[in-house]
Structure 1
Amino acid sequence: MPKPGEEEPPRPDGGLEEAEPSRESREEEPPALRPPDSPPQILSVSELLETAHEISKLTIAHEIVLNCDFKLQAVNFAPNSLENRVKDTLHKAFWDSLKEQLSASPPDYTQAIQLLQEIKEALLSLLLPRHNRLRSQIEEALDTELIRQEAEHGALDIHSLTMYILGTMAMLCAPVRDQEVQRLRSLTDPVQLLREIFRVLDLMKMDMLNFTIQSLRPHLQDHSIQYERKKFQELLDKLPNSLDHTTEWLRKAAAELSVSSSQSPPHPAVSSSPASPSQGAVSNSAALPSPTSVLNRGYMNLLCWEPGQKEYPETLFMDQARLQEVQSQVNQLTITAAVLLVTSGMCGSTLFGSPGFEEALQDIGNQVLQEVSRTLSQLGYPAFTSDKCASLKGQIRSIADKDNAVRSVIEQRIHSFLSLFISPNGQNSLKDLPKGLDAIQEELLEVGRRFGSVIHHNRQVFGPYYSEILKKVLFPEPEPDTGIDSF
């Protein structure tokens, strides 16, 4: 523990005082946002590596902002993998070499001194800039030149140095590492002790990185829009024609709305097989949809995306896995709600609302029928006839078909409810929940919040790009007249 008057060392447990970052009253619009039209260019290997590095940084920043549980984790190879065998072999050779040096007469401290230098650097990396006194203490206690001189004169005390290191680690580590640091004090073999010190220091550095991420998250959230937009533009400058899939995605949404505008008011959900004009062009005969409605339609289309058949929009690539998880959960909720609706329609509201009945409907087909029969018997109702049993099982089984009428109705209602979460000024609450979805309302609200969070962030970052693309999609420039009649 620090003495009175000394500064408190940092502990990566959320206890550090952080200055509240200032929030901008409004975002500054970046200069010229330009979806490039220039022809593709060939990048050198170094340019490709640099681009990959920039994409990695952009992806990490995006993940930190949207994923509250984001944490960096150490790379762990599979036990029987080639990488793990090579790593174990090299590590064993290194520590065996250190053991031979320390067991020699007189001991050879060359490798040990290098390790102590690396330990000092690791400890210093865990400090904040304001911890000058503790930094000076570590520099003095683990002075490499002094340690080398002690080794040359046979006066080096490895045990004393390692005890100081463990004491410093105990002050710097997060509470979750206290027991591990304490356990190191029981090790007597200097080689094993040094090896374990490095292992625990690696964990401490990961703790500090994750603590720093948590501390910086409010600041990143304030500035992530500008940062992501700037980095994305830099990538577009290097990789022209990188918005082709985004353009096609919005063109398809515009074509769907153009066709449906002449019919009854379109449902916010995505139709399973929209009748769109050739090549996704916007119909000139139908009323022109608004840019906002086109973008919202595009977002809702993501809930019916068919993997492997078309490329995901470039502007949503970083969220593809997150959105596909939402899509999977929506599909599960659709089937669950459809099963519940079919069963309640067959059994009646009195039976369906009995205690424990909804919980019993987690299984499909025979399990549902068994629970229905048991509950009917308990409540004194007559058992289902064989025809009614077959009908119930058949209706439940047919829900697996995407064209099933009940499933389609439930899917449309779910999509209609989720569309409220992506509207720029939309409000959503349980009062907006469509009929037949009461049993899944909590799960549906959670999915809607996560879906809306991703979409709102995407809309803020890429809104200017979408505006430029939609201008071209909705108001295409007429092709020059060549004077040649078309056939």
Structure 2
Amino acid sequence: MELTESGGSTGIALEFPMTTLSSSEDLTGGGKIPRRIRRRLLECKTPSKLTSIQDIEAKLNQASLRRQQFHAWLSNKARRKPKSPSWSSSQDEDLGQRLEAKLHAAEQKRLSIMAEAQMRLAKLDELRQAAKSEVEMRFKSRREELGTKVESRVQKAEVNRMLLLMAHRQRRAAAKERTAQSLLQRMVQERKYKDCVSTAIYQKRAAAERKRMGLLEAEKTRVHAKVMKVRKVAKSVYHQREIERRRMKDRLEDRLQKAKRQRAEYLRQRGNLHTIRVKMHRQGDILSRKLARCWRQFLRSRKTTFALAKEYDALGINEESVKSMQFEQLALRIESAGTLQTVKALLDRLENRLTLSRSANVSSNPSSLDNIDHLLKRLASPKRKSTPSNTIRSRRSRKVASSQGGQDPAKLSRYPVRVVLCAYMILGHPDAVFNGQGEHEKSLAESAAKFTREFELLIKMILYGPTQNTHLDSSPALPSRNFRTQLQSFDAAWCTYVYRFVVWKVKDARSLEEDLVRAACQMELSMMQTCKLTAEGENNLTHDMKAVQKQVTEDQRLLREKVLHLSGDDGVKRMECALSDARSKYYEAKESGSPIVSPVAHILSPDHPSSSASPLSVSTSAERTTSIQGGETPSRIVRSLFKNDALPQPEGLDSSSPSSGANHLGPSNENLITDNELLVNEIIHERHYVVADSLDVSNEGSNAIKAKIKDTMEKAFWNGIAESLKQDEPDYGRIVELVKEVRDELSEMAPHSWKQNIYAAIDLDILSQVMMSGIHDLSYLGKILEFALVTLQKLSAPASEDEMIKSHMKLMDELREISQAGDESNTSFVFAMIKGLRFVLEQIQILKRDISKARIRLLEPVIQGPAGFEYLRKAFGNRYGSPSNASNSLPLTVQWLLSVRSSVEQVWDEYTGSLSGLSTRHASSTHGLPPHTALRTGGSIPVASKNQGKLIAGSVHSEITTTGNNQPECNGDRIDKMVRLGLVKLTSGIEGITQETIPETLTLNFSRLRNVQAQLQKIIVISTRYVKYSSIALNYVWVNLSWRRDTALGK
């Protein structure tokens, strides 16, 4: 409060500090704002909430402005004019108290207004949440209604489609029937027309023939005259040519005589030969000096082979010293720079000597030098990416490299230094080098021992000469060797060692690659679980989560570099595919709520062919990441060719659940179910011999066309492969696919413990590299074929072992002859490759057929019991429904039984009458029954009455059944009579039985009914011919007898 000069009060000034509502002190200090509203005001996430807070702040600022105006107005109103100079202090105090009371009331009112505003905002928020939930519920209900409507429409469309298909089939059947009738009428008309035309053509042909003969006679005379004229002209031309030839011969003889004279004159005019001899001597002197100078330079720079061998011998790395050294000492000696340089110089010199020795006799044996570039490429590590520190040096050296040999690829050394020294490491310390003692490790150790032995013999031969070879070798019976033969033996041992080393290295690299990929996948899964990542992306990652993600990315980069160093780009691709699979399975498990299991248990395992996917087969049968889990392929090429040879396996023949196989196979495998039922039916009917042995020839007549088509397709398939290999750029992808097919078939039939050896022996990576290099390496292909044949021999039965061994030896001899022929063209290689693969695939199909037969033989006792009948009964019920609906589901059977219902009683009466007549007249010689009316060919058989037949049928029944017929006789039941008469009518029909006309209950016995019908028709034809010939013979005899009688009467 301020006082004026006159002593009065001018007014009271109050300050209310304004702060933003976003500060946490004001919001928490008030205490009257609800907690949910205060939390929403503090957490500003969406633009809509920011806008509401700004509105609130604007309203509060306006309220504070109005409050200040009110305070100013109140202060002005409270100021009074001084009435008299005698203003007491007590009145001033009363006025200040009243002002404070009013200000306090105004403050209380402001707080109440603010509380009401906050309550209104809370109510608005609750209303908005309720409206939002109501809208969501309405949207869900609407979506469910639309889904039900769409499903009902789809079902109605499916029903309409089935009705349209049924109507279309009926129209097609009617049109087909009309077409058949019109074709029959047209055939009859055309036959008549052909007869008329043939007679007219015959008459015209006879007239034309007569006219042609006359023209031929005239033409003969005219041609004869022309021939005589031509002969005269030919004689004159011959005489003229003979004269011209003699003239040319004389001219040539004159020229030869002139040339002889000129040559003799030239020889006389040549200079003395002494000058030429002097020049040659001078040139030889100059060349000898050059040769001596080059030799001295060679001794100073590269040294001789003897010097290099002596330096290597000074290193002390041999079989005896290696075994006595410790592993660490041997490793340090091998890894030293001096050792590597000395051994490399010696091996390069041996490679040059081998190349020179092989080039000397290349004309006698062109294929003597084994090309192992595909193995050396497996030994060479892929190039690593240059680090930033080396970029300057690489740029400097890039120009030099491009100028020296930029366009020529780097030639691989035939004898890598480290691989050679590894042989001594394996020889001295095999336990430290190998992780296990498998077949590959044993073979590698043997080949390393042989290689080191040949290498040491070669070094000793260089140092001491070939005369010392007799006491160095442990076997005195071996003949002495020279340097060339020992070098060839050393190279042969090296090739064997390199091949086995590559196989061992590939296996080790695969296991290491599996561990690296598995570690990368596990890190990825743990990172995803820790950071709680979703398929939509990263949301609200904390600093720690980002650090974890960065560390995992760095570790995976290091693992990716190691995989690139081991397996190259293919290994990196497989690692990326495994990581993507792990992520997708993690997201699927998280969405479905199932427990998250590490999906890396099957990565690069031997059971999955993706671990050995070749670059040639990726385009057609991409491996695990693109098509193996999806191949599957596809119907395979060779399996589709040999599909008909494999016998169907009767799955699901258990009496308790005979329809489980059908339910498992589904409607798409209806043909397989039918084959199983046919097989069971044949086994039940043919009890006296093994059905499995007769399955190959059971339908020989009906499958003749299919067999011819299959043979044609087979030949076309192999011809296509041969043509693709004979092109300028051969396509070896199909060969790799066939070898993969052989490997997969062997792994399916072999036990699980053999699969690793099969995948190791048949390596598609090495095969694809051999094919792509263009090397006709029949030895490697022969190893694969030999392994496949030996595996098949182990899996086959002992009874067929001798025959398989003979056929295998014959095939290997033929392939060996083809390889030894040394044909430089591609034809022999293609022929040998196709012949070997085709033989192996055929043997695989034969083995599968034998396995199927063995399984069927094991099931025959079970099928011939009640289980087989129960299986057929339930299968028939599953196909045609319950017996109550038989009139609708079995229309052909109903029609077949109705066709014989009217005549069944008549035929039964004839049967009983014939039986009674035969029993009364020929009781002692009755051994069978005559056929009914439909099968009679003539003659008369007395028919008894109904009552008599019924009385006699029972007495004669026992005699009929004791004649050796095992089939039960008809007992007079109505259904039995109708079925028997229907079968007789079916088999006695003129037209052949077809699948469209046979009743549904007889579908399984279709082939048996056709055979019976064929036999019956043969009997009818033979009987008809017999009757006809008998009548002719009787007529001839009767005529002959009448003629004799007439002649006798005449005499």
Q: With the length of structure 2 as denominator, give the TM-score of the two structures.
A: 0.24
Which protein has the bigger helix share? 2
Q: Larger relative contact order (C-alpha < 8 A, sep ≥ 6)?
A: 1
Q: Taking structure 1 as the reference length, what is the TM-score of the superposition?
A: 0.46
Larger radius of gyration: 2
